[in-house]
Amino acid sequence: MFELKDKVAIITGARRGMGRTHALILAKAGAKVVVSDISLEECQKVVEEIKAQGGNAIAVKCDVTKREEVDEMVKKAVKEFGKIDVLVNNAGILQFKPFMELTEEDWNKILNVNLLGYFRCAQAAVKEMIKQKSGTIVNIASIGMGQTGVGFPAISHYCASKGAIVAMTEAMALELAPFNIRVNAIAPGAIDTPMSQGGDPKTMEATLARIPLHRIGKPEEVSNLVLFLASDASSYITGSTVIIDGGWLAT
Ligand code: NAP
């Protein structure tokens, strides 16, 4: 049931971090993978890794803030593999800045990638999924999404983008269920990627102290959840946000 044989999956922001491991793990499960990110050269390296493990993938340059590149990514996926079954909206950016110092430019930059980027990619992919009356979309949010009992200072615009992703996921799930398209979100806690390595070591120590499993998550652990939500193993799950945080929110 976790198999993705003959399925086609697009992963955004897949040159490094969790996007890279999503691409590798979905390919291992049999998916034909479209590895997309801003740098084509870097995507090509991930494609080589996938091919080395016996998988099938192509690299496509796509900056999710550019509608024409998003449309081109979907076009290339369909041209190469004939359809799109899975979209993993993963490309994201983070900026640490106190609320009172934030500018409209900061807000627009974060929302343009983290929220509108997901919207653009989903709208383009759903046009194809509707034709075949099936598909799954996995939107990567964060436990910074709000209403969890845990708040994160100095990233209010990032948290707002992640909360909006969860709200958008629910609305999309309702609208797309008649087309047999499932839409879910994942809310990771602290995961070991270049994004989380950019923080202050003291903050990381304090974070670890709050995590019952007392370690930061591995990107592959999130990718396994992506695989579950992308596959038929989760066939009755839509409109949900699944938390993966080592027990952080249970404290
Ligand atoms: P990461 O290592 O920084 O990877 C993010 C990827 O997205 C990078 O390859 C980046 O490319 C790409 N990207 C940035 N802007 C883009 C754009 N406009 N178009 C296309 N690609 C773009 O971060 P990560 O930790 O793997 O994060 C993956 C997702 O998980 C994000 O949505 C993040 O918010 C979320 N998340 C992460 C954590 C965590 O602890 N790491 C926790 C909760 C949620 P460049 O490197 O070229 O900029």
Domain covering 8-244, topology: Rossmann fold (3.40.50)
Give the distance (Å) from ligand 1 centre to CA of residue 225.
17
Is the C-beta atom of 19 inside 6 A of ligand 1?
Answer: yes
pTM of this prediction exceeds 0.75: yes
Ligand 1 atom 2, closest CA:
17
Check pLDDT > 90 for residue 199: no
Average pLDDT, the chain: 97
Find the helix or strand (DSSP H, E) in which 135 lies.
Answer: strand 135-140
**Could you report the per-residue pLDDT of 201-232, keeping only the tens digit for each?**
888 888 899 999 999 999 999 999 999 999 99
Is the C-beta atom of 12 inside 6 A of ligand 1?
Answer: yes
Has 118 been annotated as catalytic? Answer: no
The active-site residue out of 158, 168, 184, 230 is: 158
Instruction: For residues 2 and 232, give the distance between their C-alpha atoms in angstroms, rounded to a whole number.
Output: 7
**Could you report the per-residue pLDDT of 168-198, keeping only the tens digit for each?**
999 999 999 999 999 999 999 999 999 998 7
Q: Which two tokens stand for residue 77?
A: 């996926």
Please state, in angstroms and as integers, the Cα–Cα distance from residue 29 to each residue in 16, 50, 128, 183, 210, following that order: 19, 11, 22, 20, 33
The percentage of residues in the chain with a pLDDT greater than 90, rounded to a whole number, is 95
